[in-house]
Amino acid sequence: MSEKLGVLCAPLVDASSEEVIVTASTTVNLHQLMATFYKPTGIRTKILADELTFPSDIYAVQSQLRIHELDPAEHLIRVKSRDGRFLEEDDIVAND
């Protein structure tokens, strides 16, 4: 179905039918990705995100943490942006 919808939508974005696919929202895709691949074990349980991340994506991450019986306040690490637009590598490294 995703490919068929892509073929129909391709002319709307001036692309060839092989270049377009229709999927769920970014947040739904993130949720599905994490449900498949996020397998916290031992001390490897934390998720690093930046404060610029779209709020619904953060809700998806928090939900996945709760599914694994982890507290988002402890296991979701948010990196602050100094200017509200970008992240500094030093700020990311400081959160390890």
Beta bridge pairs of residue 58: none
Q: What is the pLDDT of residue 61?
A: 96
Q: Distance between CA 10 and CA 26 in Å, rounded?
A: 19
Separation in Å, CA 88 to CA 16, 25, 58, 82, 92: 38, 28, 20, 8, 7
What are the tens digits of pLDDT across the range 12-62? Answer: 999 999 999 898 899 999 999 999 999 999 999 999 999 999 999 999 999
Q: How confident is the model at residue 72 (pLDDT cuts 50, 70, 90)?
A: very high
Higher pLDDT, 60 or 2: 60
Task: Retrieve residue 27's tokens.
Answer: 């947040």
Contact criterion met (CB below 8 Å) for 78 and 65? no
Q: What is the pLDDT of residue 58?
A: 96
Q: What is the pLDDT of residue 2?
A: 82
pLDDT at 96 over 90: no
pLDDT at 73 over 70: yes
State residue 70 phi and psi, 5-degree precision.
Answer: -115, 145
